[in-house]
C-alpha cells in the first residue's frame, strides 16, 4: 500500500541535496550559515566551532580523537552530515589520509556573524506607521484558522466556511501528491492525501513546504533563492510588522502563498502594506523533533468502540469521518463509532491501522493515541486494547485476500492449444491459476487482449 514519503525533519535535508554551486551561493548569507549551525547534531556543532578559526585542513584521525570511545556512531553521523552540507570539504590523499577543512565561504561568514552580529535585509516597521497589530494570541488563532481552512479545502472545497482563493502554485502541490482529478470529475483525495490528513500539524507543514520547494523551478523560482528566503524568514520576530516594499517580486509571491497557509498575516495601511510572521514561519529552521511538544488532546475512545471528541472544529469532524461513523455533533462534542465498514472504507482509501516505523506520520491508532484527551492520556494504554487489537485484525482481514481482475478460459479444442496458451500467458507474467486435467486457465485481465489475439491466430 503506497505511503506518504518520509518527511524531511527540516530544510537541511533539502539543502544537502543541492548542487555544490548552489550550496556555496547559500553560504554567502550569514543568517543561512547560522541556520545551518542550528540544525546540526550537537557533536557536529562542536566540530564546526572547534575548527572555525583553523585555516589548515585537519586529519580525520585527529578529529576522531576528539570523541570518547562510546561516541563512535555519533561521530560518524556528525561528519557525514557536515560533508553532505559541504560545511566540511573532504580531501582524500593516499599518503596523508583523509582531511577535512571548513567551507571557506561558510567559515568567513560565520566568523563575521558571531563576532559582529548580523542585520536582516529588513527591520520591523515603527508602530507610528502600522495600525494596531494583532496580539500573539490573535496571531496564533489566525494561523490555526488559516491552516484548518487549507485542510478543509483539501478534503472538499465545499467544506470551507468562507471562500478561499488558493494560488495556482498551492493547487499544483495538491494536484501532484494529495489530490487526483480525471476529466470532468471533481478532485479526489489520493491515498497519500488521506494519510496526510492524519499527520501531525508540524509534519503536514513540512510536507507542504518540501513540495513547494521541490516544484519551485517550474514556477521560475530558483530553489536556492527560495530556501534562502524561507530560512531568512525564520529569523524574523513573531508578531512584528515588516514592509512589503523590502521584498522582491518573487518574494512577494512567496509571501502571498505563505499567507494562505497561515505562516504570515498580511495587512494594508493607508500608504504601506506589511506582513506579520506567525510561529509557523519563525519555526521553519527548527527540526520536527524540537517542535514535537505534547499538545492538548480531545479524543476519548471507549471499549464499546464509541469515540467522543471534545472539539467544535469542523476539520476534526471531517478527519474522524475518514475512519469512523460520525453519529451526531454538538457545539463542542463529536460522537462517532468505529465500525468494520468505516475502517474498511479507510483501508481502501489507503489509511493504515498504524505506522510501522517511528516518525511523524500519524495513522488511525497513532492518531487516537496522540490526540487522547488529558483525562485518558495518562492511562496506559490511552486507547483500550480491545479496540486497537480489533482494528489490527480488521486490517489483516482486509489484506488477507487480494482482488485481481481476471478472466477464465476453458473448453480448449486440444491440449496443445491449452499448453501453448499457458506458455504465452507465463511469458507475460499473467497466469493466476491453471488446471491441466480439465484444461482451465485463469489469467490477469491486463493481458486479456493479447491472449485472445494469440488464440485467434
CATH number at residue 425: 3.30.70.2610
- Looking at residue 45, what is its pLDDT? 93
- Looking at residue 103, what is its pLDDT? 94
Lowest average pLDDT, out of 13-22, 193-202, 217-226, 356-365, goes to 356-365
Q: How far is CA 186 from CA 165, 183, 196, 446, in A?
A: 17, 8, 19, 27
Could you tell me if 374 and 419 lie in one domain? no
Residues with Cβ within 8 Å of residue 49, at least 6 apart in sequence: none
Lowest average pLDDT, out of 116-130, 232-246, 271-285, 327-341, goes to 116-130
- Looking at residue 2, what is its pLDDT? 40
The three three-digit cell numbers of residue 3, written as one number = 505511503
The three three-digit cell numbers of residue 413, written as one number = 479444442
- Looking at residue 274, what is its pLDDT? 92
What digits encode the pLDDT tens for the residues 50-107?
A: 999 999 999 999 999 998 888 889 999 999 999 999 999 999 988 888 999 999 999 9
- Looking at residue 244, what is its pLDDT? 92
Under the banding of pLDDT at 50, 70 and 90, the label for residue 360 is very low
Could you tell me if 343 and 392 lie in one domain? yes
What digits encode the pLDDT tens for the residues 311-345?
A: 988 888 988 998 999 999 999 999 999 999 998 88
Bridge partners, 273 (sequence order): 268
The mean pLDDT of 122-127, rounded to a whole number, is 84
**pLDDT higher for 379 or 200?**
379
Average pLDDT for the chain:
83
What digits encode the pLDDT tens for the residues 257-282?
A: 899 888 999 998 888 899 999 988 88
- Looking at residue 175, what is its pLDDT? 64
Could you tell me if 221 and 336 lie in one domain? no
Could you tell me if 234 and 268 lie in one domain? yes
**pLDDT higher for 118 or 366?**
366
Could you tell me if 25 and 62 lie in one domain? yes
| Dist CA 231 CA 163 (whole Å) | 30
**What range defines the domain where residue 357 resides?**
299-399
Most confident segment among 19-23, 180-184, 283-287: 19-23
Could you tell me if 165 and 257 lie in one domain? yes
Could you tell me if 90 and 174 lie in one domain? no
Report whether pLDDT(358) > 70: no
Q: How far is CA 253 from CA 22, 229, 282, 439, in A?
A: 22, 12, 18, 66
Could you tell me if 53 and 87 lie in one domain? yes
Q: Is residue 293 part of a domain?
A: no
Q: Determine if residue 227 is left, alpha or beta; phi over 0 gives left, psi from -120 to 50 gives alpha, anything else beta.
A: alpha
When divided into structural domains, the chain yields a total of: 4
- Looking at residue 455, what is its pLDDT? 85
Measured from the Cβ of residue 327, the count of other Cβ atoms closer than 10 Å reads: 11
DSSP strand pairing (325-330 vs 333-337): antiparallel
Report whether pLDDT(291) > 70: no
- Looking at residue 172, what is its pLDDT? 65
Report whether pLDDT(454) > 60: yes
**pLDDT higher for 412 or 363?**
412
Report whether pLDDT(173) > 60: yes
Could you tell me if 197 and 239 lie in one domain? yes
From 235, 255, 287, give the residue that closes a domain.
Answer: 287
What digits encode the pLDDT tens for the residues 386-427?
A: 999 999 888 888 777 677 888 899 888 899 999 999 998 888
User: Comparing C-alpha atoms, which of 69, 63, 36 is closest to residue 47?
Assistant: 63
Q: Is residue 131 part of a domain?
A: no
The mean pLDDT of 191-212, rounded to a whole number, is 80
From 383, 399, 415, give the residue that closes a domain.
Answer: 399
Please identify which residue in the block is written with the cell numbers 500608504: 271
Amino acid at each position: 500500500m503506497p505511503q506518504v514519503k518520509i518527511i524531511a525533519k527540516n530544510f537541511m535535508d533539502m539543502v544537502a541535496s543541492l548542487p555544490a554551486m548552489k550550496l556555496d551561493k547559500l553560504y554567502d548569507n550569514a543568517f543561512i550559515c547560522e541556520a545551518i549551525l542550528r540544525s546540526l547534531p550537537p557533536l557536529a556543532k562542536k566540530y564546526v566551532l572547534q575548527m572555525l578559526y583553523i585555516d589548515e585542513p585537519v586529519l580525520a584521525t585527529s578529529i576522531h580523537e576528539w570523541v570518547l570511545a562510546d561516541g563512535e556512531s555519533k561521530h560518524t553521523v556528525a561528519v557525514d552530515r557536515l560533508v553532505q552540507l559541504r560545511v566540511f570539504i573532504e580531501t582524500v590523499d593516499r599518503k596523508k589520509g583523509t582531511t577535512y577543512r571548513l567551507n571557506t565561504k561558510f567559515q568567513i561568514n560565520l566568523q563575521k556573524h558571531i563576532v559582529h552580529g548580523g542585520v536582516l535585509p529588513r527591520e520591523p516597521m515603527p508602530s507610528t506607521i502600522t495600525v494596531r497589530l494583532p496580539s500573539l494570541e490573535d496571531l496564533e488563532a489566525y494561523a490555526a484558522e488559516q491552516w484548518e481552512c487549507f485542510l478543509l479545502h483539501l478534503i472538499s472545497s465545499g467544506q470551507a466556511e468562507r471562500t478561499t482563493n488558493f494560488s495556482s502554485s498551492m493547487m499544483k502541490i495538491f494536484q501532484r501528491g494529495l489530490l487526483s482529478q480525471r476529466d470532468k470529475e471533481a478532485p479526489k483525495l489520493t491515498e497519500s492525501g488521506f494519510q496526510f490528513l492524519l499527520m501531525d500539524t508540524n509534519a503536514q507543514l513540512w510536507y507542504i513546504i518540501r513540495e513547494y520547494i521541490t516544484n519551485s523551478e517550474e514556477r521560475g523560482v530558483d530553489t536556492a533563492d527560495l530556501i534562502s528566503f524561507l530560512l531568512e524568514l525564520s529569523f524574523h520576530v513573531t508578531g512584528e510588522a515588516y514592509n512589503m516594499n523590502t521584498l522582491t517580486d518573487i518574494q512577494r509571491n512567496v509571501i502571498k502563498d505563505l499567507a494562505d497557509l497561515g505562516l504570515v498575516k498580511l495587512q494594508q495601511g493607508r500608504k504601506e502594506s506589511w506582513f506579520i510572521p506567525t510561529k509557523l514561519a519563525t519555526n521553519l529552521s527548527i527540526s520536527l523533533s524540537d517542535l514535537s511538544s505534547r499538545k492538548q488532546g480531545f479524543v476519548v475512545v471507549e471499549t464499546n468502540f464509541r469515540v467522543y471528541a471534545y472539539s467544535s472544529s469542523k476539520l476534526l469532524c471531517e478527519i474522524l469521518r475518514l475512519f469512523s461513523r460520525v453519529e451526531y455533533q454538538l457545539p463542542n462534542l463529536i460522537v462517532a463509532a468505529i465500525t468494520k465498514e468505516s475502517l474498511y472504507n479507510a483501508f481502501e482509501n489507503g489509511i493504515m491501522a498504524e505506522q510501522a516505523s517511528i516518525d511523524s506520520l500519524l495513522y488511525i491508532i497513532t492518531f487516537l493515541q496522540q490526540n487522547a484527551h488529558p483525562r485518558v492520556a495518562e492511562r496506559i494504554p490511552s486507547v483500550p486494547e480491545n479496540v486497537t487489537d480489533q482494528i489490527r485484525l480488521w486490517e489483516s482481514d482486509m489484506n488477507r485476500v487480494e482482488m485481481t481482475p481476471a478472466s477464465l478460459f476453458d473448453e480448449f479444442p486440444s491440449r496443445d492449444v491449452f499448453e501453448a496458451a499457458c506458455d504465452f500467458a507465463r511469458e507475460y507474467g499473467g497466469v493466476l491459476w491453471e488446471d491441466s486435467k480439465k484444461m482451465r486457465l485463469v489469467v490477469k485481465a491486463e493481458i486479456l487482449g493479447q491472449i485472445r489475439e494469440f488464440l485467434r491466430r
